[in-house]
Structure 1
Amino acid sequence: MDITKLNSKELADLISQAQKRKRVLAKRKPINQVRAQINKIVRASGYSFEELFGSTGAGMAAPKAPRKAAGKSKGPRKGSKVEAKYRDPANAENTWTGRGKQPRWLASYIEQGRQLTDFLIAPQAESTVQSAAPAASPVTSSY
């Protein structure tokens, strides 16, 4: 803090705040006495300091969560990334995999009368057209 730029009133306020802080600090017990009192209470309760605060002793650590048993994790899955099936022709960064809620950009096009198939990404559009075609049935003659 650069006190050379403070005016007389600001400097007086700063001195007042510093004196208040000094009085608060003077009332505090030395940290080694507080630690000794805490250790005494911990031992009298039948615990060790490490059991309550961890092995570092660097203060009151948050309690650790109990470990889960080995097995399947309930966390998020780390599956493979799904490729996009649909792309916005106006903005190539807007894509959709076809899973989940339909994005707004696509919904607005559909409201305007466009078809979902209009936005298929090219390689998938070809495979979709091929798979949508009916299988050719063998022709047999009955002559």
Structure 2
Amino acid sequence: MAIDLKSLNHNQLSDLIARARARQDELVKEKATKLREKINALVKAEGFGLDEVLGRSGGAARGKARGKVKPKYRNPADPTQTWSGRGKRPRWFHAALTAGKKEKDLLIG
């Protein structure tokens, strides 16, 4: 099934690429499903459960939920606004730095 790529226009070529990528994704999913089935069969044949082999205890979630982090910085103009220092900087924090404040000036302490 040879396709003459030079004879295809832009839209036809884009469509072919999109269909090829979709088919490639299907093949990857099929292969992963078959591999998962083989692994499950091997584990069962050995008399184990998948959780035992993978070290999961009691079906616990993969990642541990993290608790709320204590605030590290406070907005001097509005003390109800705080920030833990994690994630994107709040607008008030950025504005305070632009206005000449230092990070240490905004620390809760």
TM-score (norm 1): 0.33
TM-score (norm 2): 0.42
Counting helix residues as a fraction of each chain, which structure ranks higher? 2
Q: Higher relative contact order by CA 8 Å / sep ≥ 6: 1 or 2?
A: 2
